[in-house]
Amino acid sequence: MITETRLVQFDSLELDCGETLHGLQVAYETYGRLNEEKNNAVLILHAFTGDAHAAGIDHEGKTGWWDNMIGPGKGFDTNRYFVICSNVLGGCRGTTGPSSMDPRTGRRYGLRFPVITISDMVRLQKKLIDHLGIPRLLAVAGGSMGGMQALEWAVAYPEAVEACIPIAATARHSAQQIAFNETGRQAIMMDPDFQNGDYPDDKPPARGLAVARMIGHITYMSDESMREKFGRRLRNREAFSFGFDIDFEVESYLRYRGQQFVGRFDANSYLYITKAMDYFDLTLGYPSLAASLERATARFLVISFTSDWLYPSYQSLEIVNALRSRNHDVTYCELTSNYGHDAFLVDIAEQTEVMRGFLDRCQRDFRRPQP
């Protein structure tokens, strides 16, 4: 399946911070076909460093980040469903973000880009869905930050969401989650090459960004999966180096991943997107999570993974309990996996089964949008 990223322009977007962005662009991909009833559209929402290329092979030969879940016969079966994925607002993979040109100045936004929220991201996605002529989505689904967007969709646009599938997600970032993000931001902003966000293309704050990514990678894996994958194995040596070069496999992996990330991700986007996650709090302005979810009319499938310590199951259960307390239709699956937070990307056998049954039921019971 060869896929292509398309671009669509929008005039403006009002933001939670009070500012308005003008001249926006959204990068998106679609897989499968929208049926005549328009009841088979699934919006996939990507995690922190993801992009619109969720499935298939692009013109550079790169496989989509959730290709194991999206395609003919897969969890999101493209023989049945019309699947859409777009790069988030604030990203650096085609959608307007801090590395875009500010139409007012002709210069890059940099830190002059307004601070955005998960709800701003979703507001822009709604414009895309309207543009595609879809009155009601069969499902919104995503892992990690994608799950936060899915929850926001269910609350912000209840009339447009038949089913909501937050995976390995939370209704609000905890102190520990904020702390990890803040440490990554500090690593970037402390890099002298950061230059207050006005770094040139060929000299990004590479060292800080790499360190931030190393922290991230540790939190995405579980203690056990790191033990299985690396243990205490040495890298290309029989004995300790008694120096500060690479001794262990795990050191080599982290350094490599850190450096590789610099080539594909923008440091300012790192700041903006992590901040959006930290600000995310579905209860904001409501007396409780249950009260905030009251507006939602969607059916919910909430998924978490046993070894995910970054977005632990108790955070998913908080959502489930809030939904149950108001008699929402909610299915909760805690799947067994050793892969930690990465599980939603890699350990997909059970996830696929659960998804298939749930989507099938939701399409059968699809409620037509009120005109």
Active site residues: 144, 308, 341
Smallest distance from the beta carbon of 335 to a copy of itself, in angstroms? 20
Q: Binder to a copy of itself among 176, 260, 288, 336 (CB under 8 A)?
A: 176
Residue 339 found at the interface with a copy of itself (CB under 8 A): no
* Contact by Cβ (8 Å): 84, 129: yes
Are β-strands 82-86 and 41-45 bridged in parallel, bridged antiparallel, or unpaired?
parallel
Q: With respect to a copy of itself, which residue has the nearer C-beta, 153 or 280?
A: 280
CA distance 318 to 174: 12
Smallest distance from the beta carbon of 129 to a copy of itself, in angstroms? 26
Smallest distance from the beta carbon of 101 to a copy of itself, in angstroms? 21
Residue 101 found at the interface with a copy of itself (CB under 8 A): no
Residue 175 found at the interface with a copy of itself (CB under 8 A): yes
How is residue 261 written in tokens? 């990330």
- Only one of the segments 35-43, 53-61, 174-182, 350-358 lies at the binding site for a copy of itself (rule: CB under 8 A); that segment is 174-182
Are β-strands 82-86 and 76-77 bridged in parallel, bridged antiparallel, or unpaired?
unpaired
Question: Could you say which residues in the range 120-149 bind a copy of itself, by CB under 8 A?
Answer: none
Question: Could you say which residues in the range 284-313 bind a copy of itself, by CB under 8 A?
Answer: 309, 312
* Contact by Cβ (8 Å): 282, 171: yes
Residue 251 found at the interface with a copy of itself (CB under 8 A): yes
Under DSSP, the state recorded for 33 is: -
Using alpha carbons, list the distances in angstroms from residue 129 to 79, 121, 292: 20, 13, 23
- Only one of the segments 74-82, 98-106, 277-285, 325-333 lies at the binding site for a copy of itself (rule: CB under 8 A); that segment is 277-285
Give the total residue count for the chain: 371
How is residue 257 written in tokens? 């991943």
CA distance 31 to 21: 29
Give the count of alpha carbons within 13 A of 9, CB side only.
4
CA distance 298 to 317: 17
Q: At which residue do the structure tokens 């949008």 appear?
A: 369
Q: Binder to a copy of itself among 43, 52, 134, 210 (CB under 8 A)?
A: 210
Residue 244 found at the interface with a copy of itself (CB under 8 A): yes
Strand locations in 117-263 (E): 139-143, 163-167
- Which has the closest alpha carbon to 165: 186, 182, 151, 178? 151
Q: With respect to a copy of itself, which residue has the nearer C-beta, 37 or 202?
A: 202
- Only one of the segments 69-77, 141-149, 203-211, 295-303 lies at the binding site for a copy of itself (rule: CB under 8 A); that segment is 203-211
Question: Could you say which residues in the range 28-57 bind a copy of itself, by CB under 8 A?
Answer: none
Residue 341 found at the interface with a copy of itself (CB under 8 A): no
Under DSSP, the state recorded for 232 is: T
Contacting residues toward a copy of itself, per CB under 8 A = 16-18, 111, 114-115, 172-176, 178-180, 182-183, 185-187, 189-192, 207-208, 210-211, 214-215, 217-218, 221, 223, 226-227, 229-232, 240-244, 247-251, 254-255, 258, 271, 275, 278-279, 281, 309, 312
